[in-house]
Structure 1
Amino acid sequence: MPCSPRLPATRAQVERVLRCVAPAPAPLFLPAIYEQKAWFIDQTPSAIARDPALLTRALLAEQEAIGADALAVGVDVYNVEAEAVGCEVAFYEGKDASIPGITRHILRPGDDLSAAAIPHPGRAGRMPVNLEAARNVRRALGGEHWIRGAISGPFSLAVALVGAEDLFIACLEQPEWVHQCLDYAARVIRAYATGYVDAGVELIVFDSQASPQLLSPAMYEEFVLPVTRDLIAWAGTQGVRDVPLVIGGNTTAIAELLVATGGNNLLCDFTADYDTWAGVARRAGRALRRNLSPHLLETGTPDAIYAAAREEIARGATLPGFIMGTAVIPFGTPLENVLAVKQACRDAGAGAAQASG
């Protein structure tokens, strides 16, 4: 279905939503596009993740094709900091569209972290690739557009450094070392985030390894909440007022804990309980992004996707700070499927305008 043209929301419009000033006539449209960026320029995720010129082209092509209300700079968003301090990442050549992934961890529980290296964002690994692309896109789009540099959350980076099984066992057997590891991860993340701030863009934190499907709410509160709260508070000292915190999966059980992190744009993924999350967000005055499922977006018809998006938008019509989003768009998802969500946002806004006029 054709999507009516509309410029992305201005910074002031975005901030009104994030500050929960009032329910927006048309919700912000924030699809999660990472490896799919490559598809817009007939490249692969591995290619654009290693080349700042290709990543810049992909980001600008994404904006031209989708016209969402924000851009996120990043492809394989959980690998960059880990690779910069020594983890090995597998990339794929030719037309292989597989997502790059960690193949070797560098830490073992109990390792001495007192002298562990902190990367320089201008030199370490692929940090310069993303930072150069961020600067390029900021120059191309100007200061009004909301551009977020993707950074890992502390627990997800710790998983990349140590390995999931070893880290989860260490949470039970060596909790003090896990706190040290998370502190180290946070210092690495801050170094990278400083590069994004210097590039003139904001931040978006990804920490899906801390989802309740993997980590109990009690362990989240003990290990993850303090270091995440400190990271987001630090971002505020750098002038970054709006920090989205992205944890996928059914996060209903930790909704109140996620509010306590200080993130002001939280995620209610497609498997989470919307009614519970909406109540939490309303009481706390936090913006809330509701996602559609990646399976629907990849395999559904545009009409079915449009109907699902309109249903979610109707549920969020009275919630200040409601945002319409998607789970991560799989590589090769038809463009018309993503634009169906955008059209649902625009039509909701047009209907609200007619009703108020």
Structure 2
Amino acid sequence: MNSLERVLAAKRFAQVDRLPLFLQTSGFAATSAGIALPDYLTKSEVLVSAQLAAAQRFQNDVLFSALDYCVEAEALGTEITFALEAYPHIKSPLIDNWRRVEDLSIPDPYSAGRMPVLLEACQMLLDQDAGEHFVVGQALGPTTLATQIFGIENLMYLLIDEPEGFTRLLAFTAQVTQTFARALGAVGVHGVMINEPSASPNIFPPEVFRAFIQPLLQEIFTNLRRSYSKANWLQITGNATPILPLIAGLELDLVTLDSPVDLSRASQVLSRKTVCGNLNPLLFLKGRRDQLAEGLAGDLKQGRELGYILGTGCEIPLDSDPRNLEYLIQLLRCKSS
């Protein structure tokens, strides 16, 4: 099996020759190779080269085409600031009143901001990799995008003071998410990931997810399925345990689980979804090797035999030690031999 076949088999709950591996090496693919982060985040050819090299070095089965959390906000007109050794950040929220969302237009993925950079990178990965790896493109989820253009504290107060405004704002950002996700699917990537960290129960209570966020995600994935027949993927970081039954009802194929989630319990709730997780990415940053070995052993013990991809619950930090990732590969080789 090659990597693409391995991940697709896991998606179908079929037998695999070895456990599929998805280490979320986004910007880390650049920093670990000595590439300037701004170049990685603005030049599709740099992203492609770094991702292909990282997949080879760390035996990743997934090529992760993602930039940063500012892409959609920037495309909407938000001013961002780039840094040499960190991801860009937003100078200030784009809107200070939810009603101003009515003045915004859905950005064109083929011309707005750096959206075309990501689309081009996806196409180049598909062409240059020639079917060896599973290529996934990422779009930011509606809740997370709302925090980017309005501010997370403002969004929390809006939910309390004006629930209608909260609903209207997220309805708009959901359209942005859906439009970009559809464009990623049109390129032909093997998977479209909706990355929605701000929907975590660590930020909003499960009742908010049930009432406001889950219906939007349902609509996004249902509509995406109509035009895109490959793999739909959801990633919500933090302890998503309280909302797992709601995630189970979504029309999607794969779910990333972060390290606070009990993998065994989640696998039972998400019995019809392929699960990916839930190595703590901080182990690669500051964890001792015995901690990394312990984390891997725990995941292998809790993980399913079928329908499971070993991976990190979120992105690997930019300043992680590449030797820790290489050590993980050594451990996996020992386990499979």
TM-score (norm 1): 0.87
Q: Give the structure 2 partner of residue 325 of structure 1.
A: 311
Q: C-alpha separation between the residues in 2 aligned to 1:304 and 1:176? A: 46
Higher relative contact order (CA 8 A, sep 6+): 1
Q: How many residues align?
A: 335
State the secondary structure of the residue aligned to 1:117: coil
The answer on 1:250 being equivalent to 2:239 is yes
The answer on 1:75 being equivalent to 2:62 is no
Question: Is 1:270–1:293's contact at 8 Å kept on the other side of the alignment?
Answer: yes
- Code of the residue aligned with 2:11 in structure 1: it is L
Q: Give the structure 1 partner of residue 210 of structure 2.
A: 221
State the secondary structure of the residue aligned to 1:104: coil
Structure 1 range deviating more: 136-145 or 38-47: 38-47
Q: C-alpha separation between the residues in 2 aligned to 1:104 and 1:347? A: 49
Q: C-alpha separation between the residues in 2 aligned to 1:344 and 1:27? A: 12
Q: C-alpha separation between the residues in 1 aligned to 2:168 and 2:118? A: 27
Alpha-carbon RMSD across the aligned residues, in angstroms, is 2.1
Question: Is 1:71–1:148's contact at 8 Å kept on the other side of the alignment?
Answer: yes
Matches within 5 A, 1:119-130: 119-130=107-118
State the secondary structure of the residue aligned to 1:147: strand
Matches within 5 A, 1:73-222: 73-76=65-68, 78-92=69-83, 96-201=84-189, 202-222=191-211
State the secondary structure of the residue aligned to 1:205: strand
Give identity over the alignment, percent.
25
Q: Which runs of 5+ in 2 are unaligned?
A: none
Q: C-alpha separation between the residues in 2 aligned to 1:52 and 1:68? A: 20
Structure 1 stretches of 4+ with a deviation exceeding 6 A read none
Question: Is 1:310–1:344's contact at 8 Å kept on the other side of the alignment?
Answer: no
Q: C-alpha separation between the residues in 1 aligned to 2:318 and 2:94? A: 29
Q: Give the structure 1 partner of residue 226 of structure 2.
A: 237
Q: Give the structure 1 partner of residue 20 of structure 2.
A: 28
- Code of the residue aligned with 1:45 in structure 2: it is L
Q: Give the structure 1 partner of residue 31 of structure 2.
A: 39
Q: Which runs of 5+ in 1 are unaligned?
A: 1-6, 351-357
Q: Residue 214 of structure 1: CA displacement?
A: 0.5
Deviations 1:203-257 (A, max 9, x none): 1111001111100000011111011111111221122431121111111111111
Question: Is 1:45–1:100's contact at 8 Å kept on the other side of the alignment?
Answer: no
Question: Is 1:225–1:260's contact at 8 Å kept on the other side of the alignment?
Answer: no
Q: C-alpha separation between the residues in 1 aligned to 2:92 and 2:317? A: 25
Q: C-alpha separation between the residues in 2 aligned to 1:33 and 1:41? A: 11
- Code of the residue aligned with 1:212 in structure 2: it is P
- Code of the residue aligned with 2:50 in structure 1: it is A
Q: Residue 272 of structure 1: CA displacement?
A: 1.8
Q: Residue 33 of structure 1: CA displacement?
A: 1.4
Q: Give the structure 1 partner of residue 299 of structure 2.
A: 312
Q: Residue 289 of structure 1: CA displacement?
A: 1.6
